[in-house]
Amino acid sequence: MGRRALLARARLLRDIRRFFDRRGFVEVDPPVRVAAPAPEAWIDPIPVPRGALRTSPELQMKRLVAAGHRLLYALGPVFRSGERGPRHAEEFTMLEWYRARADYRAIMTDCEALLRFVSRRKSLKVGHARVRLSGRFERRPVVDALEAVGVDARSASDEAYSEAMGLRVEPTLGLGRPTFLVDYPLSQDALARPSPKDPTLVERFELYVAGLELANGWSELVDPAEQRARFERDRERRRMLGKTVFPLDEAFLADLGHCPPCAGVALGVDRLLMVLLGAQDIAEVRLFPDPT
């Protein structure tokens, strides 16, 4: 890594902390090793003695929200086995923040303010794209974005959904100005709550700049029974795929019962640095590569 990227990285970490500290958020550093990572069909934790390295600090942060902390952020490493490529590293730096008594719209507004704050510019040049940051970012329903490439988001198979999203939708997003894809079908529900307006959708968004996904957030599901059912479904999928199945996080499910309505997001700091610097490969912005 060159000196320019190293200094830009240091400045970005400092700016992120400055941004949240000024707004009354409290920084927390949840454990990196957990006994029971959130079960997800397509995210594989790296196992270590008595658990795994976290793939996100989400469950721990929501327990802190349930304990009464209203504005929280965490900045640190997460690990996802097997994810390697120009946009992926197995270890990467994640920023997560949570707001109690808020929904995903408030988090999207935070994203807009954060991008403007850390970029110090009116627009970003990434590859051939010039992305204007000054106005309101685009909000585009997932169903519309997929319909434009001939795919029905609600009925598509996992494979058809992923391929259309990865190859035909994502490259077109966030070119003139950043785009929020919003309101995901139930098949992509993650830990998001169903939309009160349309029960076939969940209140989830992803933020794109120049075709690159930067962040993934939602209004949090705070119904322990529904959350347990989703966890069991995803553990069953992992079992069917022959993948490691970790225990359920019972302490999390117990705390979720007294969690207020809240919303949160995970933002890839390395990718944010990529768009700030116009880098095409995540290796250009990380200090060292993953072990091979």
**Smallest gap from residue 85 Cβ to another protein (A):** 4
Can you tell me which of 144, 163, 198, 250 binds another protein, judged by CB under 8 A?
163
By the rule CB under 8 A, 7 interacts with another protein: no
By the rule CB under 8 A, 84 interacts with another protein: yes
Q: Which is nearer to another protein, 71 or 190 (CB)?
A: 190
Segment lying near another protein (by CB under 8 A), choices 20-28, 106-114, 119-127, 158-166: 158-166
**Smallest gap from residue 218 Cβ to another protein (A):** 10
Can you tell me which of 21, 158, 198, 250 binds another protein, judged by CB under 8 A?
158
Binding mask 123-152 for another protein (x = CB under 8 A): ------------------------------
**Smallest gap from residue 29 Cβ to another protein (A):** 24
Nearest Cα neighbor of 75 from 25, 39, 125 is: 25
Which residues here bind another protein, judged by CB under 8 A? 40-43, 82-88, 158-159, 161-163, 165-167, 169-170, 184, 188, 190, 206, 213, 216, 241
